[in-house]
Each structure stands twice: as structure tokens, then as C-alpha cells.
């Protein structure tokens, strides 16, 4: 590192009056992608660094200490690390409660700097602020470009053909948007719309916005979440259901969506986007296509040029590194990991090509934040099968499973998804739900993982 780099690295990331550098790492992904498990394992492994050979600063022994500190944002809930760790490592290991809203945690390091200037600099402090937030909230960015009428038209055309929407459409048919607002009816209609969103998500659709309807955080029941799409409403008077829903929709944008981007998103330096690609592949081609579209929506947020409001907010700042990680790679044998990574990379390619990520480093990886299985090769009908062995949640029994081979060419999978095929033509992928593996867990030893260290090296290695 040259002297000017040295000066720059000292100057970078200084926060509000403290002369200590800080990195804000955003962790996002759709519900159940693995955010909570990822953050818990990341912290446990950074505090006990025996399992991080792929993180250079750890391998070189330059991380002298890592410790939790009160986070700098007093009004943001703290990520409940201790409770999540107890869930995973207690007497009866189980998966922790998932992300429902934004939360944050500060992990601080005492570091011996590397390189020629390292010994001059002595021990330095670096803060890592980890910000956990639902990917669903990023999808709301698209609403900023849409008027209420535009959003209604788009949403109603999308849900028309879906059987999950039948109940809501029937309820909608009983309303007259031009009549004066009746709060009880408005609430019932909004609940009916939320019930549709929940059913759509359960059916595997990812386009379930507004994001707070599914993950309301502390806004549950408030007027900004009490609206629904209505058919075109030219000439409706003030005080009508239509005009009131229109007002609430605008309030949702200005009082919910914008503050999230301003207070949390705009300050992120590094980002990991977790994707349950294996889960989608198991669900079938439509789930994969839907996930691809949702990922495209999520990535739109990292392309601030596309949205004038966000571009202004970011003021030329951008996320410096973005890692797209397929999670739960312990569900498959390591001989399949490269194929999973290639699928991940292909899923991202289109979004990435269209996106202006100039200046941001991006990468795709397959990881398991908490490895719940061991590998085993089993003879079956005269052939050798690469399996994983784990304890199934449903039965509590341990067994070896063959999850199916992923295609060597990801294009095969993605074109079937794009074509809207009902099911995969020549393959069947099994999905499993394993319990955390108690045998792999010992106090103070970090948590077993796959490539978490490589992910960390990509995300923050250059600053350690
Ligand atoms: P979130 O909604 O993004 O916070 O997702 P969670 O972190 O709560 O993960 C959702 C579920 O995915 C968990 O309850 C586990 O069943 C599973 N899971 C997450 N990470 C892993 C992993 O590394 N390995 C395995 N086998 N399962 C995982």
C-alpha cells in the first residue's frame, strides 16, 4: 500500500465524530433465505476464529480481539445474537426465529494492520456494523415510481389469474370506491388483500409487495398499512374510499419506504444478498423464474441511477462490494457446489449486465452459514451416489440423502424456468430440512460452516 492509499484508508469510513473507521455491512434476502443464521454464525466465528482459514487477517493472526459493542443507532432494534446462538447451540439445537424487521449489531475488532506500514500503525480499532433487513423491503423501491392508479393497475392485472386472489377479488367486487370511507370495511378489505399476499408467498411467488404488508415490523395495524388496490377511480370525491386509499398509499411511500432507504440503506458500504436458490429449484421452474424476477427487483436498488430519488439520496455514494450467496449449500455434496455457484451467477447475470454496478465489486458464491450435514458416498443399485447425512426436522431421524444432481449448464435450468414449465423435464430435486448438527458444535470453537470465511474475505477482507 502506498502512502496516499494509507492516508485514504485512514480517512475512509470515519463516522460522526469518532476517529475510528467503520464498515456498514448490509445483510439481506427474501424471507427464509438464511439472514438470521448467517449473521449469528458470522459473529460467532469472528469471535472464535478457529474456523476461518480463508479470511486472511484471521489466518495471519492479525485479529487480536473481536467483541460486541453497543451499536451507534439508539432507535434501531439490536440483532438478538445471544438468543439466536443459544437456539443453535443449546441442549436441543434448533433454528432461531427469522428476520421480521431491520436490526443491527456492532462488532468491533482490535487489529494489527498488515503490509509494510503495519508495524508503524500498531493496533487499530475497526467497527463492523451489521444491518439485517428483509429483502422484501427493497422491492418497495419500485413503488416510488408508481402513482396509486399505476400501482393498482399493475397489481390487479398480476393477481387476476392467480387462484390465491379469488377471495380478495370477491371482496373487492362488493366495494364501491366512490362511496365515503367506512373504516371497518376499509380494514376488512386491506386484511383480505394481506391474506392474498400471504397465500401468494406460500405458493412460492416472490413479487409480494408492499413489503410491509407481510413484514410490518412495528407498523402492524396502522393506517399506512390499511389500504388495498382499487379499480380505476377517475373523479372520486374527497373522503371517498378511493381517495383515502390513495392518500395512505402516498403516505406509505413517503413515511415508510423513503425513511427506510434514507436511514438504513443509503449508509451501507458492503452488501451480501442471500438467496435460497436450492429451495426455489426444489419448488420448480416457476419458483426459479419468480425468484429471478425478485432478485432483479432487489438489485435495482443497487443501481441508484435508475431511480432519481434514490440517486439524489446516495449523492454519488455507492455500495462498494456486493456478494450474491446461494445459502444452505450443506444440503448438497461438495461435488455439486460449483454447479450451484454457476446457477447463482447465471441468475444474477442478466440483472448485473443491465445494472450499472460500475465501481462495485460483485461475486457469486455457494455457502452454508451453519453446516448441518456430513458427506457420505453410498452404493445404490451398483452405482456410487454422493449423499449428505443429517437429522431431519420432520422425523427427528438421521439418514443419508441423495438430493439429485444439478445440471452442469445453468442455462438448461433457467430456460426451463423462463418458459414457465410446470416441472423440471429430466430431473427431480429433493428438499430437506435438517436440524442443526449438535455434534459439530463445541463451546468457544466457532460454528461449522461452508465458505463463510471466503464470503467474509470478499466482503471485508480488504479492510482488516
Ligand atoms: P431469514 O428469514 O432470512 O432470517 O432466514 P433464517 O436465517 O431464519 O433461515 C431460515 C431457515 O433456513 C432456517 O430456519 C433453517 O431451516 C434454514 N437455514 C438457514 N441457513 C442454513 C444453513 O446454513 N444450513 C442449513 N442446513 N439450513 C439453513
Compute the distance between CA of residue 70 and CA of residue 108 in angstroms, rounded to an integer.
10
Distance between Cα 359 and ligand 1 center (Å): 31
Domain membership of residue 392 (yes or no) is no
In this structure, the answer to whether residues 168 and 197 fall within a common structural domain is yes
The protein residue whose alpha carbon is closest to atom 19 in ligand 1 is 34
Question: Could you tell me whether strands 63-69 and 123-132 are parallel, antiparallel, or unpaired per DSSP bridges?
Answer: unpaired
Question: Could you tell me whether strands 103-112 and 123-132 are parallel, antiparallel, or unpaired per DSSP bridges?
Answer: antiparallel
Q: Is the CB of 201 under 6 A from ligand 1?
A: no
Residue 248, H or E segment: helix 241-252
Predicted local confidence at residue 452, as pLDDT: 98
Supply 389's cell numbers: 447425512
Compute the distance between CA of residue 43 and CA of residue 71 in angstroms, rounded to an integer.
14
Distance between Cα 408 and ligand 1 center (Å): 26
Q: How many CB atoms lie within 10 A of CB 365?
A: 22
Ligand 1: which of 30, 41, 51, 95 to mutate, judged by most atoms within 8 Å of the beta carbon?
95
What are the pLDDT digits (tens) for 412-424? 899 999 888 888 8
In this structure, the answer to whether residues 311 and 457 fall within a common structural domain is yes
Predicted local confidence at residue 103, as pLDDT: 94
* Of the residues 232, 260, 288, the one at which a domain ends: 260
Predicted local confidence at residue 190, as pLDDT: 97
In this structure, the answer to whether residues 197 and 65 fall within a common structural domain is no
Q: Kindly give the interhelix angle for 285-300 and 410-418, rounded to the nearest 10 degrees.
A: 90
Predicted local confidence at residue 15, as pLDDT: 43
Distance between Cα 383 and ligand 1 center (Å): 32
CATH of the domain at 44: 3.40.50.300
Closest alpha carbon to 84 in 453, 330, 447, 328: 447
Predicted local confidence at residue 286, as pLDDT: 83
Predicted local confidence at residue 14, as pLDDT: 43
Domain membership of residue 166 (yes or no) is yes
In this structure, the answer to whether residues 333 and 454 fall within a common structural domain is yes
Predicted local confidence at residue 132, as pLDDT: 95
CB 358 within 8 A of CB 366: no
CB 41 within 8 A of CB 284: no
Predicted local confidence at residue 314, as pLDDT: 80
Domain membership of residue 395 (yes or no) is no
Residue 130, H or E segment: strand 123-132
Ligand 1: which of 34, 96, 282, 298 to mutate, judged by most atoms within 8 Å of the beta carbon?
34
In this structure, the answer to whether residues 318 and 446 fall within a common structural domain is yes
- Residues of the chain falling short of pLDDT 70: 1-19, 116, 118-119, 304-306, 350-359, 438-444
Contacts of 353 (CB under 8 A, 6+ apart): none
Spell out the long-range contacts of 340-345 with Cβ–Cβ below 8 A and sequence spacing 24 or more.
340/277, 340/278, 340/366, 340/406, 341/365, 341/366, 342/410, 343/277, 343/281, 343/406, 343/410, 343/413, 343/414, 344/275, 344/277, 345/410
In this structure, the answer to whether residues 233 and 210 fall within a common structural domain is yes
Supply 148's cell numbers: 396509486
In this structure, the answer to whether residues 457 and 350 fall within a common structural domain is yes
CB 390 within 8 A of CB 352: no
Question: Could you tell me whether strands 270-275 and 18-28 are parallel, antiparallel, or unpaired per DSSP bridges?
Answer: parallel
Domain membership of residue 378 (yes or no) is no
Compute the distance between CA of residue 227 and CA of residue 216 in angstroms, rounded to an integer.
13
Closest alpha carbon to 449 in 41, 107, 175: 41
Q: Is the CB of 368 under 6 A from ligand 1?
A: yes
Q: Kindly give the interhelix angle for 452-460 and 35-47, rounded to the nearest 10 degrees.
A: 80
Domain membership of residue 389 (yes or no) is no
Range of the domain at 23: 3-133+267-371+440-463
* Of the residues 260, 282, 297, the one at which a domain ends: 260
Domain membership of residue 403 (yes or no) is no
Predicted local confidence at residue 445, as pLDDT: 76
CB 398 within 8 A of CB 390: yes
In this structure, the answer to whether residues 223 and 281 fall within a common structural domain is no
In this structure, the answer to whether residues 242 and 272 fall within a common structural domain is no
In this structure, the answer to whether residues 55 and 171 fall within a common structural domain is no
Predicted local confidence at residue 438, as pLDDT: 66
Ligand 1: which of 29, 37, 273 to mutate, judged by most atoms within 8 Å of the beta carbon?
37
CB 294 within 8 A of CB 423: no
CB 139 within 8 A of CB 297: yes
In this structure, the answer to whether residues 321 and 455 fall within a common structural domain is yes
Supply 12's cell numbers: 475512509
pTM of the model: 0.89
In this structure, the answer to whether residues 118 and 191 fall within a common structural domain is no
* Of the residues 260, 275, 307, the one at which a domain ends: 260
Domain membership of residue 405 (yes or no) is no
**What's the start-to-end Cα distance of the chain, in Å?**
13
Number of domains present in the structure of the chain: 2
Supply 315's cell numbers: 449523492
What are the pLDDT digits (tens) for 81-135? 999 999 998 888 899 998 888 999 999 999 997 776 766 778 899 999 999 999 9
Domain membership of residue 411 (yes or no) is no
Q: How many CB atoms lie within 10 A of CB 362?
A: 19
Amino acid at each position: 500500500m502506498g502512502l496516499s492509499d494509507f492516508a485514504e484508508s485512514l480517512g475512509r469510513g470515519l463516522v460522526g465524530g469518532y476517529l475510528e473507521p467503520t464498515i456498514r455491512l448490509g445483510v439481506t434476502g427474501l424471507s427464509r433465505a438464511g439472514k438470521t443464521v448467517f449473521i449469528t454464525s458470522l459473529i460467532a466465528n469472528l469471535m472464535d476464529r478457529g474456523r476461518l482459514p480463508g479470511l486472511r487477517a484471521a489466518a495471519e493472526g492479525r485479529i487480536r480481539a473481536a467483541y460486541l459493542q453497543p451499536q451507534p443507532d439508539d432507535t434501531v432494534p439490536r440483532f438478538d445474537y445471544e438468543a439466536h446462538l443459544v437456539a443453535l447451540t443449546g441442549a436441543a439445537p434448533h433454528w432461531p426465529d427469522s428476520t421480521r424487521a431491520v436490526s443491527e449489531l456492532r462488532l468491533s475488532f482490535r487489529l494489527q494492520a498488515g503490509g509494510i506500514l503495519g508495524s508503524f500503525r500498531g493496533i487499530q480499532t475497526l467497527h463492523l456494523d451489521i444491518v439485517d433487513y428483509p429483502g422484501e423491503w427493497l422491492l418497495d423501491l419500485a413503488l416510488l415510481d408508481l402513482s396509486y392508479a399505476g400501482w393498482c393497475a399493475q397489481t390487479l392485472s398480476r393477481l387476476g389469474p392467480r387462484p390465491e386472489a379469488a377471495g380478495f377479488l370477491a371482496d373487492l367486487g362488493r366495494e364501491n370506491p366512490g362511496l365515503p370511507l367506512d373504516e371497518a370495511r376499509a380494514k376488512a378489505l386491506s386484511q383480505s388483500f394481506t391474506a392474498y399476499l400471504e397465500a401468494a408467498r406460500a405458493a412460492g411467488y416472490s413479487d409480494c409487495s408492499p413489503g410491509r404488508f407481510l413484514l410490518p415490523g412495528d407498523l402492524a395495524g396502522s393506517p399506512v398499512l390499511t389500504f388495498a388496490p382499487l379499480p380505476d377511480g377517475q373523479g372520486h370525491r374527497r373522503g371517498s374510499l378511493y381517495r383515502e386509499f390513495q392518500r395512505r398509499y402516498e403516505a406509505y411511500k413517503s413515511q415508510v419506504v423513503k425513511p427506510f432507504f434514507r436511514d438504513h440503506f443509503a449508509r451501507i458500504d458492503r452488501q451480501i444478498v442471500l438467496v435460497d436458490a436450492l429451495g426455489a429449484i426444489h419448488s420448480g421452474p416457476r419458483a426459479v423464474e419468480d425468484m429471478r424476477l425478485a432478485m432483479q427487483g432487489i438489485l435495482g436498488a443497487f443501481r441508484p441511477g435508475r431511480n432519481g430519488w434514490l440517486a439524489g439520496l446516495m449523492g454519488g455514494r455507492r455500495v462498494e462490494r456486493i456478494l450474491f450467496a446461494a445459502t444452505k449449500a450443506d444440503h448438497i455434496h461438495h461435488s455439486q457446489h460449483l454447479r450451484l455457484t454457476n446457477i447463482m451467477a447465471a441468475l444474477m447475470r442478466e440483472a448485473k449486465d443491465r445494472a450499472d454496478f460500475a465501481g462495485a465489486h460483485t461475486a457469486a458464491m455457494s455457502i452454508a452459514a451453519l453446516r448441518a450435514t456430513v458427506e457420505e458416498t453410498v452404493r445404490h443399485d451398483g452405482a456410487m451416489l454422493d449423499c449428505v447425512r443429517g437429522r431431519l426436522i420432520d422425523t427427528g431421524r438421521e439418514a443419508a440423502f441423495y438430493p439429485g444432481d444439478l445440471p452442469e449448464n445453468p442455462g438448461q435450468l433457467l430456460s426451463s424456468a423462463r418458459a414457465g414449465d410446470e416441472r423440471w423435464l429430466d430431473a427431480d430435486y429433493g428438499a430437506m430440512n435438517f436440524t442443526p448438527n449438535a455434534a459439530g458444535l463445541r463451546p468457544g470453537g466457532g460454528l461449522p460452516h461452508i465458505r463463510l470465511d471466503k464470503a467474509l474475505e470478499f466482503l471485508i477482507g480488504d479492510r482488516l
